Structure 1
Amino acid sequence: MSAVLPPSPAPVSVPGPPSLRSAVLGFCIDLLIAIGLLLLLSVAGFAVWGFLRSMGEVQAVRAQGGSPSPAAIMAAIGQPGVMVQLLIALVSTATPAVLLYFWRRRATPAEQATSRAAIRRRSTWGWIAAVAAGVFMLSNLVSVLASALGIKPVPTNLPLMEEAIKQWPLALVVFAVAIAPAYEELLFRRVLFGRLLAAGRPWLGVVLSSLTFALVHEVPGISGNGVVAIAQLWLVYGGMGAAFAWLYWRTGTLWAPILAHGINNATALAALYFFGLG
């Protein structure tokens, strides 16, 4: 008597990649959430700082038996210092990146294993070095050509960086070389570019995420740069964002663009320290 075999299990259906429409919609939603949180937290941070400064002024005047006037309170608030601005920038930009990662683009265990394996490959470190060097050379080439044409833009964050490197050099190094690259890559490469990469549209992801990266770093209308100068900065930031997106795509680990980004920022800080301070 022959044994009766159990029926074969039904094949497990593997979901396909998201549609282009779904991926682009998700990209836009992620971007709007990030911008909204960034603006909200920035305003809240400066409001809290202003409130604390005003309360300190009120208490100081009352301790001397006086009555604080609105004009005196406003004068006491003044401009936030370098460290306050760095902390507000950290909270307002890192929070959306971390929130969106855990809420909408968290890596699966398989992706985490792939990333760990990728960062151990020698070729990954070679690509990190190559992209970091390429970004540095591209940025300098664009700057030299622009300078020859009489275009000399001033990045919006340059005055803050110049003051920070004088007053808080160690804090600036930690922020610019370690912290900022981590949360920027988490947002722009993992969340934004990664969504279109997962949908099978990597080149569209490179274009959209690098454009967003450039616009966020140099917002029109908040500096004295003209249209041509802003276009040059966008070219530099956009090229940088595209290179880091390609590096993430090529290596399969987010650690690659984080490290390349950190190397680039370290090089820029060194140049600012040795050549950019009067």
Structure 2
Amino acid sequence: MSFILISRNKQFWDVFKGEKASIGASIGWGIIGFFLVFLGQTIGAYIELALGIDMGSENTEAIMSVTKVAPIMIIATVFLGPVLEELVFRRVIFGSIIQNYNFWIASIISAIVFAAIHMDFTHILLYTICGMIFAFLYHKTKRLLTPIIAHVLLNGFVTFIQMNADKFQI
């Protein structure tokens, strides 16, 4: 329903001036973005460890416990969640703020809101880093497709690892 309402307003998608990246470049940046987010989360995890914060997200654990009981949840976790979150946090929040402020202000505010909505305040740094990288990807390519790809890959990777954690134990 939301997409029908959005599609009626053609200007909704025109956040940035200038030419959008090609679909191929956007997909490539989405894949690169996954690795950027992974690197960002690794750095963030080291910072958290230095601050005495234990690894492991309550948000991820809660989603995975539901997913193990109802595997159909994988579709929501890996695909629907990232699409809706990118639409809300990158297009609506970041896209609205960047109309009047610079990239840094828009990305920090939208990333903190993104982090807060996950209700895992112990790891707010990790979610904020992800949000800022997703905002960078959107800003870089001017296409929402790019952070969606990176977000889907991230959630797919985390879901795969979590669902198969017993197989990876040493």
**Shorter chain as normaliser: what TM range?**
0.7 to 0.9
Counterparts of 1:130 and 1:253, CA distance in 2: 15
In structure 2, relative to structure 1, the CA distance for the partners of 1:107 and 1:237 (3 Å cut) is farther
In the TM superposition, residue 183 of structure 1 has moved relative to its aligned partner by: 0.8
Aligned residue pairs: how many?
163
Residues 1-278 of structure 1 correspond to what in structure 2 (within 5 A)?
A: 98=2, 102=6, 106-108=9-11, 111=14, 118-120=21-23, 122-144=24-46, 146-147=48-49, 150-169=52-71, 171-218=72-119, 220=121, 230=122, 233-275=123-165
TM-superposed deviation, 1:160: 2.5
Asked if the contact 1:247/1:257 (under 8 Å) is kept, the reply is: yes
Identity %: 26
- Residue 128 of structure 1 and its aligned partner are, at CA, apart by 1.1
For residue 175 of structure 1, give the secondary structure of its aligned residue in structure 2: helix
Counterparts in 2 of 1:258 and 1:271: CA distance versus 1, 3 Å: same
Cα deviation 1:65-92 (Å, max 9, x = unaligned): xxxxxxxxxxxxxxxxxxxxxxxxxxxx
- In structure 2, relative to structure 1, the CA distance for the partners of 1:183 and 1:107 (3 Å cut) is farther
Pairwise CA distance, 1:202: 2.4
Q: Which has the larger radius of gyration?
A: 1
1:203 deviation in Å? 2.0
Tell me how far 1:164 sits from its aligned partner.
2.1
CA change 1:107–1:235 in 2 (3 A) is farther
* Larger RCO, structures 1/2 (Cα 8 Å, 6+ apart): 2
Deviations 1:20-69 (A, max 9, x none): xxxxxxxxxxxxxxxxxxxxxxxxxxxxxxxxxxxxxxxxxxxxxxxxxx
2:77–2:155 CA contact under 8 A, matched in 1: yes
Cα deviation for residue 253 of structure 1 reads 0.7
Tell me, yes or no, if the aligned pair for 2:107 and 2:136 is still in contact at 8 Å: yes
Q: Distance in 2 between matches of 1:274 and 1:126?
A: 27
Once residues 109 and 191 of structure 1 are traced to their aligned partners in structure 2, the CA distance between those partners, rounded to angstroms, is: 9
Tell me: CA distance 1:130–1:212, structure 2 relative to 1, closer, same or farther (3 Å).
same
RMSD: 3.0
> CA-to-partner distance for each residue in 1:154-187, whole Å, 9 max, x for gaps?
4332342232232112x12210111001111111
State how far apart, in whole Å, the 2-side matches of 1:108 and 1:131 are.
26
Instruction: Please state how far the C-alpha of 1:149 moved relative to its aligned partner.
Output: 6.1
TM-score normalised over the length of structure 1:
0.51
Q: Distance in 1 between matches of 2:43 and 2:101?
A: 33
- Provide the rounded CA distance (Å) in 1 between the counterparts of 2:118 and 2:12: 32
Give the 3-state SS of the residue equivalent to 2:58 in structure 1: coil
Deviates more, 1:150-159 or 1:160-169: 150-159
CA distance in 1 between partners of 2:147 and 2:65 (Å): 27
Q: What CA distance in whole angstroms lies between the structure 2 residues aligned with 1:190 and 1:182?
A: 11
Deviation at 1:124, TM superposition (A): 2.0
Query: Cα distance, 1:208 vs. partner?
Result: 0.6
Q: What secondary structure, in the 3-state scheme, does the structure 2 residue paired with 1:118 have? A: coil
Give the TM-score, by structure 2 length: 0.80
| Structure 2: tracts of 5 or more residues without a match | none
